[in-house]
Chain A
Amino acid sequence: MPVRVLVAKPGLDGHDRGAKLVARALRDAGFEVIYLGIRQRPAAIAAIAVQEDVQVVGLSILSGAHVALTEKTAAALRDAGADDVLLVVGGTIPQRDVARLEAAGAVAVYPTGTPLETVVESLETLTRAARTS
């Protein structure tokens, strides 16, 4: 069974080059990718994550609103009873915000400049660990 990953852009930021590249790289690495597109509400992301039974939700945010949007998405996942879903976040994220995102519920953070292969390897490791735990 391939690992199912949902990739989405919460908030209003439309810069989707990174999200699409990550979606492709994950698909090429054998993940089953559901790409939701831009301007997604946190509640909608959580609802689809449940409906599609994904193991990972990946958010891409370049607008600077990453902390609030990650908090909201994590809360929406909890409300939807999907707190076992792994939440990861990438985008224009200054180093000083990485810890804040982790505190908000992200299990991994991929700031600008993270190589795609690092993202893929990280998700392979995280999902393997989640399955065996």
Chain B
Amino acid sequence: MNGEVRSEAGIPLATSYGPGDLPRPEELPSPGTFPFTRGNFADGYRGRLWTIRQYSGFGTPEESNARYRYLLDQGGTGLSVALDLPTQCGYDSDHPDVEEEVGRVGVALDTLADAEILFDGIPLDAISTSFTINGTAAILLAFYVAVGEKQGVDRAELRGTIQNDILKEYVSRGTWIWPPRPSLRLIADTIEFCAQDVPRFNAISVAGAHFRDAGANAAQEMAFTLMDGITYCDEVIARGRMTIDEFAPQVSFFFYTHGDFFEEIAKYRAGRRRWARIVRERYGAKDDRSCMFRVGCVAGGASLYAPQAHNNIVRVAYEAMASVLGGVQSMFTAAWDEPFALPSEDSATLALRTQQVLAYETGVARVADPLGGSYFVEALTDAMEARVVEIMDDLERRGGMVDAVESGYLQGLVADEASRVQQAVTSGERPVVGVNLFPTDEAPPEVEGYELDETGRARQLERLAAVKRTRSAADVRACLGALAKAAARDDDNLMPHLVECAKAYCTVGEMVDVLKDEWGEFQQPTVF
């Protein structure tokens, strides 16, 4: 130890900071002004509070629908839909390899019939819905558009987000289906489709969160995410059909907030500034709204620990406050018992209350960018941006994100950092209360958790069978045939075809398989 103090991402920290560490005033314009370091909006959270959006979805569409209505009744302002892994990976509930996963980490959606139940009684023109869906994002978007039509809501009125960020799936989250190149094409199709038809819907939420949870530090998380954002924008721009200003306002971002309080604040401020400059300088954006870095976040994840698990309540509260001081637009707070199981209703409600206390009692939302001009926060924002740029330059030199994913280089970077953190926790270099500081012998809690309803799967299979019996087989064949034909060409947008497939009650698995036949499947590099 040489006595040097560093942030979690390794940025060296001085003992204190002073006026010499501040940028020149012209480099730090007011909140709501390009490059938005101080936030996207001049009035901060006064005009609109961040969206309190708790991730949830269990078992069957009926159970999830009940949970959503409960959360909306409790003051939630948006839905965040968790899908089960078969739906995320493109398998129907009746696929023989996936039976134990149906309805387990989220709701099972096989056909439009399930989506109709999921959103029953929930006015799609009044709420916004975020889907954590990637491989099958385009299909879920097609379902949402089709459900909206059934409710009499025009697609132009629909609000929400599909995550739709496949690149990080190859590195960290694992719900890939097709190889990167055709997947990028499908993502560009959704971006074009949303820009033209569903203008209030975010076509993509470029997510650093999963890099972070897999091991990346805050600077890597931001750098990898911005590189992914560039990759998607390049793909759309290269088609020559749209300018950046026509779609960039529908691109959003998603991160984890972990425990290093000031570093997280600096990360969001630095990310906003860097993205604004990329959009203006690389793509020539003329509209400042295109340059805005719209951010959702999760407080929790891998920053939570199993020993003395109630300490996680405190961790999440600090992380939530850092997120708000960093200027995020929406937030999910994790429940304290997530290291053990899906949260119970009690722990999930406490997580929601954590945000409500923050929003309505602490006063942090009263003034835009309350930390703006802090010697330390501004210096750390600059240092974070410099570190992010360094990591991005390295990836550019290596040929960009697709090459870094296919070669396993990115997977290696993330695994290395995870290993470094693990060693730092083991050695005590990184203090964690209850783990390497003040440990106790207390047994793990008997968490209430969530018990999967085994009859739910049976109901799901019955409904799927009924849909297959009653739909028009000729329509299904025709729609899937048209999808295959469009996939074989480069210049046909697949989204209208997927909407037709959805309306004909084709299953997720049927649509995915048609595209697998055209595009093949991803082969994972196994780097550890």
Question: Which A residues contact B (CB, under 8 angstroms)?
Answer: 7, 11-17, 19-21, 23-24, 33, 35-39, 41, 63-65, 68-69, 72, 92-96, 111-113, 115-117
Closest beta carbon of chain A to B465's beta carbon, Å = 22
Interface residues of B (CB under 8 A from A): 85-86, 88-89, 91, 97-101, 104-105, 169, 172-175, 213-215, 302, 305-307, 339-342, 415, 418-419, 422, 426, 443-444, 446-447, 449, 452, 524, 526, 528
Considering the chains assembled together, what is the distance between the CA atoms of A29 and B447 in angstroms? 33
Residue of B nearest to A67 (CB): B100
- Cβ distance B40 to chain A, nearest Cβ, rounded Å: 31
Sample (12) of A-B pairs whose CB atoms are under 8 Å apart: A11-B100, A12-B175, A13-B174, A15-B174, A16-B174, A17-B215, A24-B419, A63-B85, A63-B105, A95-B443, A113-B339, A115-B426
Indicate which residue in A12, A17, A41, A94 contacts B101 across the interface (CB closer than 8 Å). Answer: A12
Interface contact tally, CB-CB below 8 A:
101
B340 and A112 form a contact (CB under 8 A): yes
Q: Which of A21, A68, A112 contacts B100 (CB 8 A)?
A: A68
The smallest beta-carbon distance between B17 and chain A, in angstroms, is 34
10 tightest Cβ-Cβ pairs between the two chains A and B: A14-B174, A113-B306, A68-B100, A12-B85, A37-B526, A20-B528, A65-B100, A23-B528, A112-B306, A112-B339
Is there an interface contact between B213 and A17, defined as CB atoms closer than 8 Å? yes
A116 to B86 Cα, complex, angstroms = 31
Is A37's CB under 8 angstroms from B100's CB?
Answer: no
Which chain B positions have C-beta within 8 A of A68? 99-100
Residue of B nearest to A20 (CB): B528
Find out whether the CB atom of A21 lies under 8 angstroms from the CB atom of B446.
no
| B174/A63 in contact, CB under 8 A | no
Residues of A within 8 A of B172 (CB): 14, 16
Q: B residues within 8 A CB of A94? A: 340-341, 447, 449
Task: Give every chain B residue within 8 A of A65 (Cβ-Cβ).
Answer: 100-101, 104
A113 contacts B100, C-beta separation under 8 Å:
no
Excluding A13-B105, A63-B104, A113-B307, 14 further A-B contacts by CB distance (< 8 Å) are: A12-B89, A12-B91, A14-B172, A15-B173, A15-B214, A17-B418, A39-B89, A41-B97, A63-B101, A64-B105, A64-B342, A94-B341, A112-B306, A113-B339
Q: How far is the CB of A98 from chain B (nearest CB, A)?
A: 10
A31 to B426, CA, bound (A): 20
Which residues of chain B have C-beta atoms less than 8 A from A63's C-beta? 85, 101, 104-105
Q: A24-B528, A69-B100, A113-B444 are in contact. Are A14 and B422 (CB under 8 A)?
A: no
Expressed in whole angstroms, the minimum distance between the Cβ of B69 and any Cβ of chain A is 24
B443's nearest neighbour on chain A, judged by CB, is: A95
Q: Which residues of A have CB within 8 Å of B415? A: 20, 24
Chain B residue nearest in CB terms to A8: B526
Whether A20 lies near B524 (C-beta < 8 A) is no
Chain B: minimal CB distance from A29 (Å): 13
With A11-B100, A21-B419, A116-B422 given, is the CB distance from A64 to B174 under 8 Å?
no
Alpha-carbon separation in the docked complex, A92 to B419 (Å):
19
Q: How far is the CA of A37 from the CA of B415 in the complex (A)?
A: 13
CA distance A27 to B4 in the complex (A): 31
**Contact residues in B for A7 (Cβ distance below 8 Å):** 528
Give B85 Cβ to nearest chain A Cβ, in Å: 4
Q: A7 to nearest B CB, angstroms?
A: 8
- State how many angstroms separate the Cβ of B311 from the closest Cβ of chain A: 12
Nearest residue in B to A10 (C-beta to C-beta)?
B100
| Residue picked from B98, B173, B174, B215, most chain A C-beta under 10 Å | B174
Q: Which residues of A contact B449 (CB under 8 A)?
A: 94
Residues of A within 8 A of B341 (CB): 64, 92, 94
Point out the residues of chain A lying under 8 angstroms from B173, CB to CB. Answer: 14-15
Measured between alpha carbons, how far is A36 from B174 in the docked complex, in Å?
A: 13
